[in-house]
Amino acid sequence: MAALVGLLIALAMAMKWLVEFQVEAAEERRSLEAIARAAQMRCFELASHRATEACRAAVAAKRGSAP
Protein backbone atom coordinates (compact mmCIF):
# COMPACT_ATOMS: atom_id res chain seq x y z
CA MET A 1 0.00 0.00 0.00
CA ALA A 2 2.84 2.41 0.84
CA ALA A 3 4.45 1.70 -2.53
CA LEU A 4 1.22 2.65 -4.27
CA VAL A 5 1.01 5.93 -2.34
CA GLY A 6 4.65 6.66 -3.19
CA LEU A 7 4.00 5.91 -6.84
CA LEU A 8 0.98 8.21 -6.87
CA ILE A 9 3.02 11.01 -5.29
CA ALA A 10 5.79 10.53 -7.86
CA LEU A 11 3.21 10.56 -10.67
CA ALA A 12 1.64 13.76 -9.32
CA MET A 13 5.05 15.44 -9.14
CA ALA A 14 5.87 14.36 -12.70
CA MET A 15 2.54 15.73 -13.94
CA LYS A 16 3.16 19.03 -12.13
CA TRP A 17 6.58 19.33 -13.77
CA LEU A 18 5.14 18.51 -17.19
CA VAL A 19 2.42 21.15 -16.89
CA GLU A 20 4.93 23.78 -15.75
CA PHE A 21 7.21 22.89 -18.66
CA GLN A 22 4.34 23.18 -21.15
CA VAL A 23 3.30 26.57 -19.74
CA GLU A 24 6.87 27.91 -19.97
CA ALA A 25 7.22 26.62 -23.54
CA ALA A 26 3.93 28.28 -24.53
CA GLU A 27 4.99 31.59 -22.98
CA GLU A 28 8.30 31.48 -24.84
CA ARG A 29 6.55 30.63 -28.11
CA ARG A 30 4.10 33.52 -27.66
CA SER A 31 7.00 35.87 -26.99
CA LEU A 32 8.86 34.76 -30.12
CA GLU A 33 5.69 35.08 -32.20
CA ALA A 34 5.15 38.62 -30.89
CA ILE A 35 8.71 39.53 -31.89
CA ALA A 36 8.13 38.08 -35.37
CA ARG A 37 4.85 39.99 -35.75
CA ALA A 38 6.57 43.23 -34.73
CA ALA A 39 9.29 42.62 -37.33
CA GLN A 40 6.64 42.01 -40.01
CA MET A 41 4.83 45.21 -39.04
CA ARG A 42 8.05 47.20 -39.38
CA CYS A 43 8.31 45.87 -42.93
CA PHE A 44 4.84 47.19 -43.80
CA GLU A 45 5.88 50.67 -42.69
CA LEU A 46 8.32 50.89 -45.60
CA ALA A 47 7.47 53.17 -48.52
CA SER A 48 7.62 50.87 -51.55
CA HIS A 49 6.12 47.48 -52.26
CA ARG A 50 9.54 46.17 -53.35
CA ALA A 51 11.15 47.27 -50.07
CA THR A 52 8.30 45.73 -48.08
CA GLU A 53 8.64 42.39 -49.87
CA ALA A 54 12.44 42.41 -49.49
CA CYS A 55 12.08 43.12 -45.78
CA ARG A 56 9.49 40.35 -45.35
CA ALA A 57 11.77 37.91 -47.19
CA ALA A 58 14.69 38.85 -44.92
CA VAL A 59 12.54 38.41 -41.81
CA ALA A 60 11.32 35.03 -43.04
CA ALA A 61 14.88 33.93 -43.78
CA LYS A 62 16.03 34.93 -40.29
CA ARG A 63 13.07 33.19 -38.70
CA GLY A 64 13.70 30.06 -40.73
CA SER A 65 17.34 29.89 -39.74
CA ALA A 66 16.61 30.49 -36.04
CA PRO A 67 16.14 27.39 -33.87
pTM of the model: 0.64
C-alpha 67/C-alpha 63 separation (Å) is 8
C-alpha 60/C-alpha 58 separation (Å) is 5
* pLDDT over 70 percentage in the chain: 96
Q: Where are the domains of the chain?
A: 21-67
C-alpha 34/C-alpha 47 separation (Å) is 23
> pLDDT (tens digit, 9 = 90+) per residue, 3-29?
999 999 999 999 999 999 999 999 999
